[in-house]
Structure 1
Amino acid sequence: MDASQILSLADAAVRWRELTDLIEAARHDYYDRDQPRMADAEYDAYYRELQELEAAFPQLASQDSPTATVGGQASAVFTPVPHRQQMMSLDDVFSMDEVEQWYRRMHDAFPGEDLDFTAEVKVDGLAVNLTYDHGVLVQASTRGDGFVGEDVTANVLTIASIPTRLQGTGHPAVLNVRGEVFFMLSDFATVNREREDNDERPFVNPRNAAAGSLRQKDPAITASRPLSMVAHGVGYVEGEDLPQTQMGWYLALKEWGIPVSQHTILVRSFTEIADLIRKKGDERPTMDHEIDGIVLKINDLDKQRQLGATSRTPRWAVAYKYPPVEAFTRLLDIQVQVGRTGRVTPFAVFERVLVAGSHLQHATLHNAKEVRRKGVLIGDKIIVRKAGDVIPEVVGPVIEDRDGTEREFVMPELCPSCGARLRPAKEGDVDLRCPNAAHCPAQLTERIAHLGSRGALDIEGLGIEAAYALTQPEAGREDAVAALAEGHSVTLADGRTVRLDNPEEIPHGERFARAEELLDAPQTPVLNSEKDLFTLTAEDLSQVSVWRPVTRGGTHTGAWEKVRYFWSKSGRPSKTTELMLGQLDTAKTQELWRLMVALSIRHVGPTAARALAARFKSIDAIAQAPLEELTAVDGVGAVIAESIKEWFQVEWHRDIIEGWRGAGVVFQILNEDETPQTLEGMTVVVSGSMPGYDRESAKAAIIARGGKASGSVSKKTSVLVAGPGAGTKLAKAESLGVPVLTEQDFDRLLELGPAALPQS
């Protein structure tokens, strides 16, 4: 059923924001941290739901929607590198029907013409861009957000399969080679054996190991790991007599010494495509590297140019993704966790199982309705699956395996973190929420982690683990007690090791109580509200300890220990702690929009926060603005405006602002007079790469000067700034008579405004 027939615009906007937050968080984990926490299948489902929602409610789509952007951001560790031509993503399809639909669209675009396609295995690694100047490798970068990546030249130079100087002749003056850095499976196995021999924790899977190896601060570490690379295309090129087909480029790259896939072939008919997909699917377990699909591209480059691209994907290519890998395991329990907004989510706890290179033990079940829909009982043998190397989903139970001892999951009536009675946010909601937002430790933990994230205050060292240490330091205590009850040892913060004597002789009902008596008294959290965050000192953190499992060679021994989190064994704050406190101090004068995001006002993300900050200049002005003024701000609207008004009506929310203000946080735009409003009244569209800017910083520069940053060209557009990769937006601007500037003129436009436009 069409989403517009079952959802109101307000509900659709709420769901749009939820999906956007989930997808952006998953992208950050996958691309930036190399620590994905969401299964590919789950990500794909959320992404498709977002596409359907935007199709039903076009007014929700924006230029910074995940459907219009490529995941990944440049890290502070590496120098940012703007791409001269955007590094795009690919549209994914999951069935042969969808492959055939794409194939038919390609033929419909060129009726009566013979088409051939390259069919390539989709290597699961880290995307890179290699720049050759007259045949010499001068720079290498990661994909990043597609517009700006990270400079990893020193690391790439250590990869033996990547030539530093091209072979042969006829090289373009400038050549961008796009490819994937990965581990051959045999090399990955060798590296893990060596790590185990050295009592180091083995890598979980080849993709994450390759990404982590390439993004090392020390190139010597990269050099010690046998990475490989395979090219899958080219980007920006300057030269003459260049190949005119995709396969022609692959042959040229191979001749020049660039590694290309031996599995790439040309296909013409849908039957050939279907046969190849089936064949490679059968060969997948025996291939020399991991693949997760087959990529199809129109071979003729002129036809590729005619078809163009969307803001994030080429229309002339598609990626068929193989079904996720499945495994059997035992469902031990269904527990619940409380999120930043109070949403209580059930999750499955099952026996540890290895699936496609990852050891898995948990999977979200979303809500009680979903648990019932899947039909799983605690104690069931279940099927779990994943398409990548992350937390899986529960497919369902193996009913034939039941013996009658299984039991149903019952959603708790009280919050497991604070004991408040759970209830839906509004009548008819499937999700239950904890209403005790001010004092629920679980919600506070998530809010602290959120404000430290890159999209908010970007505090190094203030992630989810630090947030737990600050707000719930006793998390894990019950696991330590259980370990004692099972006969394992626990080492306390003062160095004492305790063990329950003869646990098998103690009645089961008494073991936990007897084990608990051996531990020291529970700690009082350092933070009971985020209002005190900016007054934290190193001394405040000196005694904070956390519970951790004891591992040896990457394997849990069964024992637990309590260790200082923020201070080192030498009796001083750790370097990470000093960095965190220093960045918290610097954050007191962070941009106003970042402070807005850090306050966890529901639905207020970076886009709305930037627009609000540019319009009202201070937090007080935003708090006092009438609803109609908030609603009128571009990128805000009724749902977000209502949420803002409701947030400022809550006393403890206002206490946070006053607490931060008292610690020196500045809730207003500083040095406003230094930014002239040169773009006031102008609507500016930026397309393609801009030297010195990524997508977000270009948008921020426009808004800071009073302009409106739009993602699409229309008759109302004042100017299009077109860099490499502008594509269809450039053609549309020319057809509508919209003034066009090159990427080199962007700074001049910011400085002069309308005076920078070409004179007719």
Structure 2
Amino acid sequence: MTSVQVDVKGRVAHLREQISRHDQLYYVRSSPELTDAEYDALIRELRAIEEEHPELVTPESPTQRVSGVPADGFDEVAHRLPMLSLGNAFDGEELVAWHSRVAEQLEVDQFDMLSELKFDGLAVSLTYENGVLTRGATRGNGLVGEDVTANLRTVRSIPLSLGSSEVPAILEVRGEVIFPKSKFEEFNRLREAQGLPTYVNPRNTASGSLRQLDPHMTAERPLDIFIYSVGYREGGSVPDNQRDSLEYLGELGFKVNEYNRIFSTVREVLDWYKRWRDEFHDLDYGCDGLVVKVNRFDYQRHLGDVGREPRWAIAYKFPAEQAVTVLRDVKFNVGRTGTINPYAVLEPVHVSGVTVKQATLHNEDYITSRDLRIGDRVVVERAGEVIPQVVRPLTELRTGVELGVTMPSSCPNCEQPVVRREGEAMSYCTNASCPAQLIRMIEHFVSRGAMDIEGLGVKQGGALISAGLLKDVADIYTLHEYRDGLVEMERMAEKSVSNLLAAIDTSKNQSLARVLVALGIPFVGGEVAGILARHFGTMKAMRQASVDELVVINGIGPKIAESVHSYFVQESNALVVDKLQLAGVNMVEESVQSSGGTSLVGLRFVVTGRLPNYSRSEIQDKIKDLGGAVSGSVSKRTDYVVAGEGGGSKLADAQELEVNVLSEDEFERLIELGRDLFEEER
């Protein structure tokens, strides 16, 4: 290597270091030291050298933030650790209840909590390998997201490389991409001046910007990010609590929000909430509440998760924004279970950054209890900042021309009779073959959280029903027999038909839990489906279960047990499941297929204390995977209590009721031998 080459490499390294430093000062710390012209001069010099010496270009170079080639689409990527969603508290009582549950499970009276602002943006994960950004992904469904690395590289507050030599070999961090309000307003003014349509709100624009196929489009939008946690890592070490980990992330060069506070009592959190409830509108970014987290990571591991929500954190939401508008009409649609669902047709009104034209009215009782009338001026809000609903009428503004709401006596789709069952709030279409029901059932069956069949939307489903090709959801798996006819249908070109049939074939391998979700059994969502699939292992065993056998499963109450049993004994449903099985749809839980693990079938466990090698959620999942059930309290029906350090009251209950208590090692031995041999060995 010549001295000239050495000098060029040295200059490139120096320029990159300086540009990265000034990116940090400007985009992360808001304390620039250079003018725009001085900064641009550094970028131009680096770009000129790299153009002359392309062998020196590296992915982490500041000139490589924007790639040159638009993508055809986004690949799916599995998160190494799930990106969990948060449970919500909407008032002080719910926050106090959460604190009490956590204190009871930790068996302490008091624990430190970190309060952070809850950003209204798009959650993402960033993965660094040896300090270099290698992947950025959206949250997606929490388990699988979309690879948007090229777009995230354009966000100037995201470092392309980390300066510290002590960073873990693999470090994944989580954060929220936002579109600052001031930048959003400026962006819209520019579009308006160019004669282009403006965008409605910063959050949706941030989300859409990250899903642009051309990174140049994303780069034109001044997105920002706040990093709020460490996810997966390999090697190295990180602090043992949330507050210190945020400081650590800031030291690595990430942008961390400054409004984080540590508290030891609920009263302090409530006071902090009251302050922000009155001031959050003044922030330059969307914020819809506080996130309250147990500060210590060992406590977090001990608490674990329930479903896809951590027990150790909760979102304490600010009150929903409300607006006043006119209730123009009440219309009705048909749900997949035949429910007749009323909804409000509203004079368009702006609520929480979105134009609302319709809102849910839930059921007949909701309408009558509020005395809603067509023509009323009504208060509207977006419940949980998502679903618009009518809160109440402003009766003092009535003029006397308002009209009462009458529930239909016949189905708005098939015109068959409507009935309201005793003890229920909903009215139902009595026609089991109602086309509207079938369309909604198909829409649910093919959705991402169920069988995940792309290319079969509401319009295609309606056309297939009209053509007589779909009489139930199982008929989806016979569509390959009508390939030529499908190609001739409107909106179904050769390629789209091929893609649809391939997606249908792939869906046969979905997990048993997803198949259960797809069936649309009332009260059976993802979490309940997982419990049932792990417990029974096969669809056959589940179909044969009685209500009594279902209700004893931890997490399955009487209402769910009755619903599941009623579904499978109904002849039309049994026929659909039989047809799915004949079509080759998977009917066996993966853990049963792969391991045959049934060593804990029929056994009921309680877990207490802190275990050396398991978090609470890990050991509970293991018990369920092997056919056992987990309860939150000790009773005479409990077979074993697995106890670690600080077992507390549950350990005392076990001793009083003479329930077998196991150490972690004994629990592992029970799994290895099975109950009979284990008890014999003891």
> What TM-score do you get using the length of structure 1 for normalisation?
0.61
Choose the corresponding residue for 2:429, options 428, 434, 445. 434
Aligned to 2:441: 447
Q: CA deviation at 1:91?
A: 5.0
Contact 1:446/1:467 (<8 A) preserved: no
Choose the corresponding residue for 1:584, options 486, 504, 507. 504
Structure 1, residues 119-170: CA drift from partner, whole Å, max 9, x if none? 5322112223334455443444444565665554444333210112224676
Aligned to 2:64: none
- 1:533 counterpart = 2:453: no
Choose the corresponding residue for 1:737, options 653, 656, 663. 663
Spell out the pairing of 1:598-613 with structure 2 (5 A cutoff). 598-602=518-522, 607=528, 611=532
CA distance change for structure 1 residues 333 and 244 in 2, over 3 Å: closer, same or farther?
A: same
- 1:368 counterpart = 2:364: yes
Distance in 2, matches of 1:104 and 1:634, equals 25
Contact 1:338/1:417 (<8 A) preserved: yes
Contact 1:181/1:227 (<8 A) preserved: yes
Q: Secondary structure at the match of 2:452?
A: coil
Choose the corresponding residue for 2:77, options 75, 79, 83. 79
- What residue identity is the alignment partner of 2:223? L
Aligned to 2:174: 178
Choose the corresponding residue for 1:397, options 387, 393, 399. 393
Aligned to 1:32: none
Q: Secondary structure at the match of 2:156?
A: coil
Q: CA deviation at 1:443?
A: 1.0
Distance in 1, matches of 2:311 and 2:511, equals 38
- 1:421 counterpart = 2:417: yes
Contact 1:295/1:319 (<8 A) preserved: yes
Aligned to 2:45: none
Choose the corresponding residue for 2:116, options 91, 113, 120. 120
Aligned to 1:233: 229
Q: Secondary structure at the match of 1:739?
A: helix
Choose the corresponding residue for 1:214, options 186, 206, 210. 210
- What residue identity is the alignment partner of 1:447? M
- What residue identity is the alignment partner of 1:434? C
Distance in 1, matches of 2:101 and 2:550, equals 41
Distance in 2, matches of 1:269 and 1:646, equals 46
CA distance change for structure 1 residues 317 and 535 in 2, over 3 Å: closer, same or farther?
A: closer
Spell out the pairing of 1:487-506 with structure 2 (5 A cutoff). none
CA distance change for structure 1 residues 156 and 638 in 2, over 3 Å: closer, same or farther?
A: same
Q: CA deviation at 1:372?
A: 1.4
CA distance change for structure 1 residues 639 and 306 in 2, over 3 Å: closer, same or farther?
A: closer
Structure 1, residues 202-251: CA drift from partner, whole Å, max 9, x if none? 55433333334335566555444332111223345678896576554444
CA distance change for structure 1 residues 538 and 186 in 2, over 3 Å: closer, same or farther?
A: farther
Aligned to 2:613: none
CA distance change for structure 1 residues 591 and 383 in 2, over 3 Å: closer, same or farther?
A: closer
Spell out the pairing of 1:69-468 with structure 2 (5 A cutoff). 77-83=75-81, 87-90=83-86, 92-96=88-92, 119-133=115-129, 135-143=131-139, 151-167=147-163, 171=167, 175-192=171-188, 203-215=199-211, 219-235=215-231, 246-264=242-260, 276-296=272-292, 301=296, 311=306, 318-386=314-382, 389-425=385-421, 427-437=422-432, 439-468=433-462
Distance in 2, matches of 1:257 and 1:394, equals 45
- What residue identity is the alignment partner of 2:456? L
Please, which moves more after superposition, 368-377 or 238-247? 238-247
Q: CA deviation at 1:381?
A: 1.0
Structure 1, residues 275-325: CA drift from partner, whole Å, max 9, x if none? 6544433433332111111345576x4896698555466676554321110
Structure 1, residues 378-402: CA drift from partner, whole Å, max 9, x if none? 0011110125553311111122322
Q: CA deviation at 1:92?
A: 3.5
Q: CA deviation at 1:417?
A: 1.3
Q: CA deviation at 1:686?
A: 14
CA distance change for structure 1 residues 148 and 616 in 2, over 3 Å: closer, same or farther?
A: closer
Contact 1:453/1:462 (<8 A) preserved: no
- What residue identity is the alignment partner of 2:162? L
Spell out the pairing of 1:13-24 with structure 2 (5 A cutoff). none
- What residue identity is the alignment partner of 1:456? A
- What residue identity is the alignment partner of 1:286? D
Distance in 1, matches of 2:175 and 2:237, equals 22
Distance in 2, matches of 1:702 and 1:275, equals 41
Contact 2:292/2:313 (<8 A) preserved: yes
Q: Secondary structure at the match of 2:362?
A: coil
* Structure 1 unpaired stretches of 5+: 1-74, 473-523, 545-563, 689-694
Distance in 1, matches of 2:550 and 2:86, equals 35
Q: CA deviation at 1:639?
A: 6.4
Aligned to 2:33: none
Distance in 1, matches of 2:98 and 2:565, equals 46
Q: Secondary structure at the match of 2:423?
A: coil
Contact 2:532/2:542 (<8 A) preserved: no
Spell out the pairing of 1:549-698 with structure 2 (5 A cutoff). 564=490, 566-567=491-492, 572-573=493-494, 575-587=495-507, 597-602=517-522, 607=528, 611=532, 625=544, 627=546, 652-653=572-573, 656=576, 664-665=583-584, 675=594, 677-681=596-600
Between the two proteins, the alignment pairs up a number of residues equal to 579
Distance in 1, matches of 2:525 and 2:300, equals 35
- What residue identity is the alignment partner of 1:451? F
Contact 2:77/2:144 (<8 A) preserved: no
Contact 2:534/2:624 (<8 A) preserved: no
Distance in 2, matches of 1:282 and 1:430, equals 37
Aligned to 1:494: none
Contact 1:77/1:217 (<8 A) preserved: no
Q: CA deviation at 1:339?
A: 1.0
Structure 1, residues 598-626: CA drift from partner, whole Å, max 9, x if none? 4445556665588579858576x876x48
Q: CA deviation at 1:332?
A: 0.6
Contact 2:640/2:661 (<8 A) preserved: no
Contact 1:82/1:148 (<8 A) preserved: no
Aligned alpha-carbon RMSD (Å): 5.4
CA distance change for structure 1 residues 679 and 130 in 2, over 3 Å: closer, same or farther?
A: same
Share of identical aligned residues, percent? 36
Q: CA deviation at 1:367?
A: 1.2
Contact 2:113/2:292 (<8 A) preserved: yes
Distance in 1, matches of 2:411 and 2:461, equals 19
- What residue identity is the alignment partner of 2:78? P
Structure 1, residues 327-379: CA drift from partner, whole Å, max 9, x if none? 11110111122111111121111011121111111111111111011222100
> What TM-score do you get using the length of structure 2 for normalisation?
0.67
CA distance change for structure 1 residues 231 and 599 in 2, over 3 Å: closer, same or farther?
A: closer
Q: CA deviation at 1:735?
A: 8.0
**More relative contact order, 1 or 2 (CA 8 Å, 6+ apart):** 1
Please, which moves more after superposition, 305-314 or 459-468? 305-314
Q: Secondary structure at the match of 1:423?
A: strand
CA distance change for structure 1 residues 223 and 534 in 2, over 3 Å: closer, same or farther?
A: same
* Structure 2 unpaired stretches of 5+: 1-72, 611-616, 655-659
